[in-house]
Amino acid sequence: MHIAPYDNQNKAIVDVEDATVPLNYFNIVKLKRGQAFEYQVPGYETCIVPATGSVDVEVEGMTFARLGNRGADVWDGEPEGVYVPVGAKVTITCVSDETETFIAGAKYDKVLEPFDVREHDLVQYGSDDTKTHRKIKHILGQKQHDKVGRLLVSELFTVGAGGWSGFPSHKHDTNRLPDESRHDETYNFRFRPNWGSGLQMLQREDGAPGDAYHIVDGSTICIDNGYHPCCVLPGYEMYYFTILGGLTQRSLVQFFQPTHAYQIETIPGIKDMIAKFK
């Protein structure tokens, strides 16, 4: 499902028990210096990631000061995050001129401890020749596996202009371990320059025609089932904030589309990428 950009007025874009991706939660919060936003999401663990600007985050009396270092856009600096336990009371206060802050969430039933992430885990793979060159910055990834319940949070960037992402096509909509895990997934896209755009494919069945969505700067995509590669127009760079919520486990097990699975062996570094979604 494609949700076109709109002024969400700091209200959840993907709320709890969403009809398409019930395992996910997503909000965008925009504040100016000194303004504060409070939230509490029962039944979901969350992660706060400033897209731009800096914020102080208070979680049940514990303070994480000056989270976020990016300026004009998501390319202008490196990501930082704060993990928020299920149902915790949170206050986000803007300490820069302004901020746009992402809140990612996944359904979970246990209460863990809050912590901050000041250094991401970088993976780069693909190649210009295969039109799949990109890098992934994991905020809640493999390194945080023992500290998080079901939530995976990362940022994906195309390397250079144009190209494909999420290929070879894969899905993760059915809990049939060890071959595939059920993970709902939500994206929020950005483009540089911001008048760029791209395409999100969603093929429900191998060998059958699927759907395609025209994605623009600020588009949100919710993926419940099917194979889902995406691409960006030539001459533009693409970024997407990625939320994964697992049904029975945190580690993602992707099932690659049989038609294209052989290209796992031809795209440089892709096996290392797969291993990081744990």
- Ranges in the chain, pLDDT < 50: none
**Dist. CA 67–CA 62, nearest whole Å:** 13
pLDDT, residue 275, reads: 67
In this prediction the pTM is 0.94
Q: Is residue 29 part of a domain?
A: yes
Omega prior to 168 cis, within 30 of 0: yes
Contact 201, 227 (CB under 8 A): yes
Which secondary structure element, helix H or strand E, spans residue 224, and what is its range?
A: none
Write the DSSP symbol of residue 265: G
The tokens of 168 are what? Answer: 């070879």
Domains: count for the chain: 1
Q: Is residue 2 part of a domain?
A: no
Q: Is residue 1 part of a domain?
A: no
Q: Is residue 130 part of a domain?
A: yes
Q: Is residue 14 part of a domain?
A: yes
pLDDT, residue 15, reads: 98
CATH number for 221: 2.60.120.10
Q: Where in the sequence is the domain holding 246, given as residue range(s)? A: 8-276
pLDDT, residue 60, reads: 96
Q: Is residue 3 part of a domain?
A: no
pLDDT, residue 40, reads: 98
